[in-house]
Amino acid sequence: MGEAKVKVPLLEVHDLKKHFPIIKGFFNQVVGHVKAVDGVSFDLYEGECLGLVGESGSGKTTVGRTILRALAPTSGKVLFQHGDESVDVASASHDVLKKLRPHMQMIFQDPYASLNPRMTVLDLVGEPLLVNGVTDRKEREKRVQDLLVRVGLKPHFLRRYPHAFSGGQRQRIGIARALALHPKLVVCDEPVSALDVSVQAQALNLLQELQEELGLTYLFVAHDLSVVRHISDRVAVMYVGKIVELSPVDALYEKPMHPYTEALLSAVPVPDPKRKKKRLLLSGEVADPSNAPSGCGFHPRCAYAQERCKQEVPELREIEPGHFSRCHFTETLQLEGQADL
């Protein structure tokens, strides 16, 4: 997929870190840090969809938020291609950010919590327009109606409140709101995980249609590996604040290079009773990001771990063109994929 397009990185993320302080005691002493994002780097090309997967606590949501600077990063660079210049979102001033924000938007996970119940659809979807200078009420109404039609809702829903809509419809309102300012980059944070499967399919189709028509670039944060496979061009797998594998989508599912990816793929239940596969059971749980293991963060759960993994932190290395893995022994391991996931 990616080869056909001109490779212009819309977004370059360099060594992004986000550490949350752990504060304890009467004097609010900082006793440690939760290293939610601990050195993440990747490029996001214009028009592609990069899936970001991982278990809870892996830092995938924090990456999405930090890129948009909904959270201020601890360190690192987020270069966003704006016109001819590249702007560092991580260090941009308030004024610069305000100019950038229309170009980068977010779709949230929970369509029940992310819409203000006291605002009508017109106010909800019109708010970003109002903030960005569309002060004429008539024009705003017109544009909101167009947006509603665009996401498959009826234009006369304008004056209704969120409670009058089903989960799938609410998610469409969230999408309309994100698209109101014609963004280039949309961070989708688990956009379909709160939806039932039949509605989830509708929402995924809508996201794909919009991407093709409007040339959107998605950072698609999700934990559902089959959803990610369906929509993404490339996939990054995160584990305890770090990207452990980054690859074009098919290569990742068919021929994973990191032991964690292998185990993650193997754990997904497949809706096909004929395939009683042998499962790699990971022992233990996701490591604590405030007290990450030494060396490779995955070594306590890794079936292939050796002495070196406990001491040396592996680098994210490009093993094959475009296929990166953060494991000392990638070349020597024969890992199994799940091609039909």
How far is it, in rounded angstroms, from Cα 180 to Cα 221? 21
How far is it, in rounded angstroms, from Cα 80 to Cα 58? 24
Residue position matching structure tokens 């278990």: 55
**What is the per-residue binding string for other proteins in 32-71, x denoting contact by CB under 8 A?**
-----------------------xx---------------
Size of the residue set binding other proteins (CB under 8 A): 45
**Least distance CB 167 / other proteins (angstroms):** 8
Applying CB under 8 A, which part among 37-45, 101-109, 124-132, 222-230 lies near other proteins?
Answer: 222-230
Q: Which is nearer to other proteins, 38 or 48 (CB)?
A: 48
The phi-psi region of residue 240 (left if phi > 0; otherwise alpha if psi is between -120 and 50; otherwise beta) is left
How far is it, in rounded angstroms, from Cα 1 to Cα 48? 9
The reply on whether position 174 binds other proteins by CB under 8 A is no
**Least distance CB 220 / other proteins (angstroms):** 12
Q: Which residues contact 286 (CB under 8 A, 6 or more apart)?
A: 55, 56, 57, 58, 239, 240
Of 14, 223, 255, 317, the residue at the interface with other proteins (CB under 8 A) is 223
The reply on whether position 230 binds other proteins by CB under 8 A is yes
Of 25, 26, 28, 197, the residue at the interface with other proteins (CB under 8 A) is 197
The reply on whether position 237 binds other proteins by CB under 8 A is no
DSSP letter, residue 66:
H
Residue 147's closest CA among 170, 113, 172? 172
**Least distance CB 56 / other proteins (angstroms):** 6
> Edge to edge, what strands does the sheet with 217-222 contain?
104-107, 185-189, 217-222, 49-53, 234-239, 242-248, 323-325, 317-320
**What is the per-residue binding string for other proteins in 281-320, x denoting contact by CB under 8 A?**
xx--xx----------------------------------
Q: Which is nearer to other proteins, 90 or 263 (CB)?
A: 263
Question: Residue 161 corresponds to which amino acid?
Answer: Y
Applying CB under 8 A, which part among 2-10, 11-19, 96-104, 264-272 lies near other proteins?
Answer: 264-272
Rg (CA), the chain: 21
Q: Which is nearer to other proteins, 96 or 201 (CB)?
A: 201
**Least distance CB 250 / other proteins (angstroms):** 8
The pair of three-digit structure tokens given for residue 211, joined into one six-digit string = 């991407």
Site for other proteins in 77-106 (CB under 8 A): none
Return the sign of the alpha-carbon dihedral for residues 193, 197, 203, 206: positive
The pair of three-digit structure tokens given for residue 21, joined into one six-digit string = 């302080």
The pair of three-digit structure tokens given for residue 8, joined into one six-digit string = 């212009």
How far is it, in rounded angstroms, from Cα 15 to Cα 219? 17
Tally Cβ neighbours within 10 Å of residue 322.
13
Of 25, 117, 133, 273, the residue at the interface with other proteins (CB under 8 A) is 273
Question: Residue 128 corresponds to which amino acid?
Answer: P
Applying CB under 8 A, which part among 78-86, 174-182, 223-231, 305-313 lies near other proteins?
Answer: 223-231
Q: Which is nearer to other proteins, 132 or 193 (CB)?
A: 193
The reply on whether position 153 binds other proteins by CB under 8 A is no
The reply on whether position 249 binds other proteins by CB under 8 A is yes
Contacting residues toward other proteins, per CB under 8 A: 1, 55-56, 166-169, 196-202, 204-205, 208, 223, 225-227, 229-231, 249-250, 263-264, 266-274, 276, 279, 281-282, 285-286, 340-341
